[in-house]
Structure 1
Amino acid sequence: MDKNRKKNKKNKKWIAALVGTAVVLFVGSRIIAPKPVAYEAVEAKTEDIITWYSFAGNIEANSREVLLSDSPFTVGEIYVEVGDLVEEGTELLESGSEENPKSGIEGEITEVFVKENESVSPGTKLVSIVDYSALEVVVKVDEFELDAVTEGKEVVVRVNALNKDYKGTVESLSKEGTVMNGVTYFMAVVQLDYDDALKVGMSTEVTLLKEEVKGAVTLPMTAIKFHDDNTPYVLKMGPEGTTVKRHEENLSH
């Protein structure tokens, strides 16, 4: 009788062990087996890819003059007023000497600093002139981008206030750099074609071509994932709803 009970207990233990093993195997297989992954499908497209260098700057006048007195005199008649357009060599006011002060450039009178019958000493400001027909943009260029910004190169100048693009040309590049926060910058001057809508001080964005690829296979950035080492991959639908990784060298396949 005792022998039969011991035998039954032993058989029950074996059955329980077998059931437990079956449960573990079943659960493990469910965990290990690939599961369908829900994701949004996107379509690869063939497009041209263009990248640009971009620099910020403001419109400036590249030709301006502030006329100073070179000797003491009493101002006589003033021949110009603010807003007048003058040619180079135009007499500006009467100085009582054989030769009156003349404009050194062509441009617009922007300020008259003296009044008639006023006594002035050497070095006194008399008149300021700005040539608004010759405008430029001065931008800071990082030392690592100097190869791209060369004299004579055509650029696109975006004038934010006008929401308009203009053609420009790199006129010059400074020979000495300025260090700011550990980074060396060089100043590039971009010449602009005349447009009456352009005003000194307007903010601009100067761009020039960096790289261009024709007929590249493209995907939305949301479809591209990255490994810990920053190498890209995408997920493609595999058998039975599983996903398959396609790495950088296979992204177009």
Structure 2
Amino acid sequence: MKKWIVIAGSVLVVGFVGYQWIPSPLSTQTVSAQVRSAVVQKGTLNINISGSGTVQAVTSYDIKSKFANNEIDEVLAAVGESVKEGDELITFSDGSDPVTSPATGVITSLAVSAGERVTNGQVVAHVTNYNKLQTVVQIDELDIAKIKKKQPVELSINAFPDQVFTGKVAAISDEGTSSNGVSTFAVTIHIDKPDQLKVGMSAEARILTESKKDALYVPLDAVYTSKQEKYVVINSKIAGGTVSGNEKKTVQTGLANEDYVEITKGVTAGETVKLPQLAKASVSTNSSGNNQVSIFGGMGNAGRINRNFSGRGVN
């Protein structure tokens, strides 16, 4: 009798434990995908090419001795002192021509003193002009042909996040540098008003390569491609703003940047175009009140987004 009682008790315990491991029923609720749209805009569409670099001095020279074994009579400048181009910096005991400053600026280093002897080509001092600053950015080989001298540039400096500085393209390297199979070219940008800037600050440059006024444009992902045809989906509306249906319109595109693409034919300003839906979310709630979120779906079947437009860069 006791043996059957033990067996029966064991069965009840196993059954109870097994019940605890059975997942609680889930109630699933699907959150509808967000409907997205944009208005066809009319305005100036800018095409920019971006590059990063650091702030540098336009003028920065090592000053070298042209004499061998000449004894220095007097050093006429000090570190931190402002000098002008042609100022005497060092004189020699034997009356040789003095060392002069090759540029206007500030003496940032001085490597000799009176009584020492110098060798030909020895660096005796350094001069830097902090009133004229520049940055040198690396531009991809696919974009370098679009860069021209005197093109306007907007500069973002990390140290001044709320300010925009301006400049112009001053020089374009004739030789590129290759890394991992990609070549880049150095582009020098002179900064217009660098009063607050210091050498070594990080800079992001946006070089304006093309601009079009009164252009019609939409977000890039508003344009779809199907069998080499580009089209947008227009949201048709009736009185009260209710959407009555969608109309597919074939379009022709022009300039483009990383955000917008110009529509040269097929739409008018003020029309509303449909954008791809965001991914749908499925929220499941078990009996314990815990939520589980699953992402499914995506762009829908409207077509692939076409990003192969003319122009590169960031607006």
TM-score under structure 1 length normalisation: 0.69
Q: Which has the higher strand share?
A: 2
Please point out which of 45, 57, 60 is paired with 2:56: 60
What is the match of residue 143 of structure 1?
141
CA, structure 1 residues 118+176, in 2 after alignment: closer, same or farther (shift >3 Å)?
Answer: same
Q: In the aligned structure 2, how far is the partner of 1:65 from the partner of 1:211?
A: 38
Q: Contact 2:50 / 2:205 at 8 angstroms: preserved in 1?
A: yes
Q: In the aligned structure 2, how far is the partner of 1:171 from the partner of 1:202?
A: 19
User: Aligned pair count?
Assistant: 213
Worse-superposed segment, 117-126 or 86-95? 117-126
CA RMSD, aligned part only? 3.4
SS in 1 for 2:139: strand
Q: Contact 1:57 / 1:138 at 8 angstroms: preserved in 2?
A: yes
What is the match of residue 205 of structure 1?
204
Q: In the aligned structure 2, how far is the partner of 1:114 from the partner of 1:156?
A: 42
- State whether structure 2 residue 75 is matched by structure 1 residue 88: no
Give the unaligned 5+ runs of structure 1: 1-36
Q: In the aligned structure 1, how far is the partner of 2:169 from the partner of 2:193?
A: 15
What is the match of residue 76 of structure 1?
73
TM-score under structure 2 length normalisation: 0.57
What is the match of residue 16 of structure 2?
none
CA, structure 1 residues 144+243, in 2 after alignment: closer, same or farther (shift >3 Å)?
Answer: same
Q: Contact 2:88 / 2:101 at 8 angstroms: preserved in 1?
A: yes
Q: Contact 1:44 / 1:217 at 8 angstroms: preserved in 2?
A: no
Q: Contact 1:75 / 1:119 at 8 angstroms: preserved in 2?
A: yes
For residues 58-94 of structure 1, the C-alpha deviation after alignment (integer angstroms, 9 at most, x for no partner) is 1111222211222212333221111111111111123
What is the match of residue 133 of structure 1?
131
For residues 164-216 of structure 1, the C-alpha deviation after alignment (integer angstroms, 9 at most, x for no partner) is 22221111211222222111222111112243212111111111234557464
How far the C-alpha of 1:127 sits from its partner, in A, is: 0.9
Q: Contact 1:232 / 1:248 at 8 angstroms: preserved in 2?
A: yes
SS in 2 for 1:144: coil
SS in 2 for 1:138: strand
What is the match of residue 165 of structure 2?
166
CA, structure 1 residues 229+141, in 2 after alignment: closer, same or farther (shift >3 Å)?
Answer: same
Worse-superposed segment, 206-215 or 104-113? 206-215
SS in 2 for 1:77: strand
Q: Contact 2:165 / 2:193 at 8 angstroms: preserved in 1?
A: no
**Superposition pairs of residues 1-253 of structure 1, within 5 angstroms:** 38-42=32-36, 44-47=38-41, 48=43, 49-69=45-65, 70-98=67-95, 99-163=97-161, 164-209=163-208, 210=210, 212=212, 214=214, 216=216, 218=218, 246=248, 249=251
Q: Contact 2:137 / 2:186 at 8 angstroms: preserved in 1?
A: yes
CA, structure 1 residues 244+87, in 2 after alignment: closer, same or farther (shift >3 Å)?
Answer: closer
Q: In the aligned structure 2, how far is the partner of 1:242 from the partner of 1:38?
A: 19
Q: In the aligned structure 2, how far is the partner of 1:73 from the partner of 1:234?
A: 82
Report % sequence identity.
24
Worse-superposed segment, 112-121 or 39-48? 39-48
Q: In the aligned structure 2, how far is the partner of 1:137 from the partner of 1:84?
A: 25
Q: In the aligned structure 2, how far is the partner of 1:118 from the partner of 1:102?
A: 17
Q: In the aligned structure 2, how far is the partner of 1:171 from the partner of 1:103?
A: 24
What is the match of residue 258 of structure 2?
none
Letter of the aligned partner of 2:93 in structure 1? G
Q: Contact 1:43 / 1:219 at 8 angstroms: preserved in 2?
A: no
Q: In the aligned structure 2, how far is the partner of 1:214 from the partner of 1:194?
A: 31
Letter of the aligned partner of 1:166 in structure 2? F
SS in 2 for 1:174: strand
Q: Contact 2:51 / 2:204 at 8 angstroms: preserved in 1?
A: yes
Q: Contact 1:236 / 1:246 at 8 angstroms: preserved in 2?
A: no
